[in-house]
Structure 1
Amino acid sequence: MKRPESPLPSEPALDETRAMNRRLCLLAGLSGLTWSASSLLTPVRAGGQLEEPLADSVRSALASAIANSAPPEPVFSNTERRLAYLRWLGAMSDRLQRRKPDFQTRIEFLQTVWYETRRAGLDTTMVMGLIQVESAFRKFAISRVGARGYMQIMPFWSRVIGDGEVGKLFDMRVNLRFGCVILRHYLDRERGDTFMALGRYNGSRGRAEYPNAVYAAARNWIHPDA
């Protein structure tokens, strides 16, 4: 099912977006960063997770999952598993080249996605589809509701289970860690129902548009070794 297009923003909204882009670009220049204007505050077709009360035990478990700083280095039990990973990495790198032309950036991103999805017990192919829908693989994407980065994390999560530093949500590894931990949490709440969990992730639980968009996008990342 094709996801319906979002309405075009009004002129005042475009002017405000351009102004914010200019301010962010200025900040990037002052801090020595090399962000491109197109990657900053580009409108994305994403919703936002809803802040819900969490039991103390759940909050502690999520915070612990976020805080674990183990490096994203996959460990393989045998040579065949490692070769399967390398085949997947090569194929995904080729498919992602148009969106991420820099080889090293592309490989680091894919390695981290592989690691974080397996760490959280998620389907890597589905998460790649989710990232495509949420941010179109743009590291500095910001939605109209303030969700940030690759997996469009709402800032309140940084306060609820992180260290409160919202700016870290633009860090690739931090963003992917938050996104995978949050999606795992929603899957657990929905007893493994990916349709409902994806809707909850998007803040549109029970509606078909978002899950169907993720399922469709995931087809672009199917690979026998995934």
Structure 2
Amino acid sequence: MFSYRLAAALAAPLLLAACAGSPAKTTKADKAAAATAAVDETEIGTLYTRLGEAVKRYEGSADLAAAGERERAAREGNAALDDLRAAALRCQQLPGCEEERFLSAFDGLLRRDAPVTAGGEAEQIRGDDVPEAAGEGSPLVADLPETARSITLLKGRPLADMIAVNEPVKAALEEWLTQYRPNLIQSYVNYQYMRQLMWPEYQKAGLPEALLFGFIAKESGGKVHAVSRSGASGPLQFMYATGLRFGLSTENGFDQRFDPALSARANAAYLNEQLRIFNNDLELVLAAYNGGEGRVGRLAGGGRGRFWDSSVYAALAPETREYVPMVLAAAWLFMHPERYNLTFPKIDTKLGSVVLPRSMSLAELSICFGQEGGSHDGWFRALRNLNPAYDHQAALAPGTRLQVPAVLEAAFPRTCAQGQWQALAAELHAANVPLVASAPSPAARSRAAAGRRSYTVRKGDTLAAIARRHSCTEVREIASLNRLRGPSYAIKPGQTLQIPACPRGS
């Protein structure tokens, strides 16, 4: 399997770089200092002994798991990995210590046919298939989050080598680490619950996960139903025409741009297409995603210019000049949080499902689940992201199966299937707010005076596209007139909409 072979080849060197928390490059001065430093043969020998013992202990944990002693296997395996990590870090600091021995050890463990997971179970690695538990990597890599973040290539090169941490990117790092830190953390949390749906699409396309996170953090914050003023929609903010070009259409009234897995697949296909066009220049590809490939292609001369060239950079829209460094900075922080005093929360992202015993909405489920499992922000966003085809206010039929975090699957019978919290959620959801007509704006009064006209929805239409076609009106105005619920504003072919007529002179 690609990810396992990649992990085996890159895990250890990148692990050591990540653990050190500093750039991997070594200066001549560093080498000279290392050469003159005293070699502590006794400590180095002790580290080699620890290495051998840790490997044997980890291998023994696999035998324990096979014998059914899973809890003991988990303890032994995790303890072995802890000692192996600590010894590897110390070796990296000692002149004369052969880091290659630790690289070989990590490589051997990553290549095992049945490594022990953190939960003590053995897994079988099968050929070059994408793992069935979508998004799960090697158990060893999963236990080494720094390594997992660092094992990332883009067209044969480490992604870190392709990101120039220059002044604009440093400024973007400051933005993420100050006023937008809450947004970054929330983006990470939202992404973790969708990771099993999105990451495999990037993995199959040979693209790094850090880049996917960079897009999500900047584009939508991991909110599946995000819709921009221009009509870009979904977690990766596709315009309708671009989405259609990469397989995102409207099926049974559902705009597939809101589907996490399908949008990740389309985004990966777009990136690979543009990487070929722009000679693997990542910054130009990001600029094209935001500012349009035609404009960027003209400015860059078919990929001969570079994004940071003054002739290209200065000619781009301010939004694009800001967008590219922000995506790169978010990707960089995903790979190297420890270098910036940043800690991403640890989240149990296992998924489960529940079957509704009665008619309920996602909003009701969000209320009755409360802060189950220690979720400070509740479960509304995760439930919406995992079930994008459903309006959160819509009553779902009994028997509807919903995807939920595994912690909620276990809690469902006592919190939402029945009891006081289910009753409370139903009561709150049934509340009716009196409709009070607000004073219309001058523009709205002008359009009302001009009357209304009907429009029949065609296949592929979205409310944003319809609003653009009738240039004097806005999405929310059409939605309000036709009682469409945001943010998805679901419509279907054949549906008749009332459109405010444009007054004369508009």
| TM, length-normalised to structure 1 | 0.53
C-alpha contact (below 8 Å) 2:286/2:324 kept by paired residues: yes
C-alpha contact (below 8 Å) 2:248/2:255 kept by paired residues: no
The residue identity in structure 2 corresponding to 1:187 is L
> 1:143 matched to which residue of 2?
228
* 2:338 aligned with 1:221: no
Higher relative strand content: 2
Bigger Rg over Cα: 2
> 1:84 matched to which residue of 2?
141
Q: How does 1:62-81 map to 2 (within 5 A)?
A: 73=134, 81=138
Q: How does 1:43-192 map to 2 (within 5 A)?
A: 73=134, 81-85=138-142, 87-88=144-145, 99=186, 107-162=192-247, 164-165=249-250, 167-192=255-280
> 1:111 deviation in Å?
2.4
C-alpha contact (below 8 Å) 1:97/1:106 kept by paired residues: no
C-alpha contact (below 8 Å) 1:148/1:154 kept by paired residues: yes
1:163 and 1:152 map into 2 onto residues whose CA distance is 12
Change over 3 Å in CA distance of 1:177–1:220 after alignment to 2: same
The residue identity in structure 1 corresponding to 2:198 is V
The residue identity in structure 2 corresponding to 1:201 is Y
Unaligned stretches of 5+ residues in structure 2: 1-130, 150-181, 297-311, 338-506
The residue identity in structure 2 corresponding to 1:221 is F
> 1:200 matched to which residue of 2?
288
C-alpha contact (below 8 Å) 1:113/1:124 kept by paired residues: no
C-alpha contact (below 8 Å) 1:153/1:169 kept by paired residues: yes
> 1:143 deviation in Å?
1.2
The residue identity in structure 1 corresponding to 2:215 is L
C-alpha contact (below 8 Å) 2:223/2:235 kept by paired residues: yes
Structure of greater relative contact order (alpha carbons < 8 Å, 6+ residues apart) = 1
| Identity level (%) | 27
Cα distance per residue 1:80-101 (max 9 Å; x no partner): x442145449x98xx9995279
> 1:169 deviation in Å?
1.0
The residue identity in structure 2 corresponding to 1:131 is I
C-alpha contact (below 8 Å) 1:149/1:175 kept by paired residues: yes
1:134 and 1:149 map into 2 onto residues whose CA distance is 9
2:133 and 2:291 map into 1 onto residues whose CA distance is 29
The residue identity in structure 2 corresponding to 1:211 is V
> 2:415 matched to which residue of 1?
none
C-alpha contact (below 8 Å) 1:129/1:217 kept by paired residues: yes
Cα distance per residue 1:183-223 (max 9 Å; x no partner): 22111211100010000011253443221111122233115
Superposition CA RMSD, Å: 3.4
Cα distance per residue 1:116-166 (max 9 Å; x no partner): 222122121122112111111111111121111111111113433426317
2:326 and 2:184 map into 1 onto residues whose CA distance is 22
Change over 3 Å in CA distance of 1:87–1:192 after alignment to 2: same
Q: Figure out how many residues of one structure are paired with residues of the other and give that number.
A: 146
The residue identity in structure 2 corresponding to 1:124 is E
> 1:170 deviation in Å?
0.6
C-alpha contact (below 8 Å) 2:187/2:216 kept by paired residues: no
C-alpha contact (below 8 Å) 2:220/2:226 kept by paired residues: yes
Change over 3 Å in CA distance of 1:75–1:219 after alignment to 2: closer
Residue aligned with 2:255, SS: helix
> 1:210 matched to which residue of 2?
323
Change over 3 Å in CA distance of 1:98–1:130 after alignment to 2: closer
| TM, length-normalised to structure 2 | 0.26
1:151 and 1:223 map into 2 onto residues whose CA distance is 23
Residue aligned with 1:151, SS: coil
C-alpha contact (below 8 Å) 1:72/1:112 kept by paired residues: no
C-alpha contact (below 8 Å) 2:225/2:258 kept by paired residues: yes
1:212 and 1:199 map into 2 onto residues whose CA distance is 10
1:136 and 1:178 map into 2 onto residues whose CA distance is 18
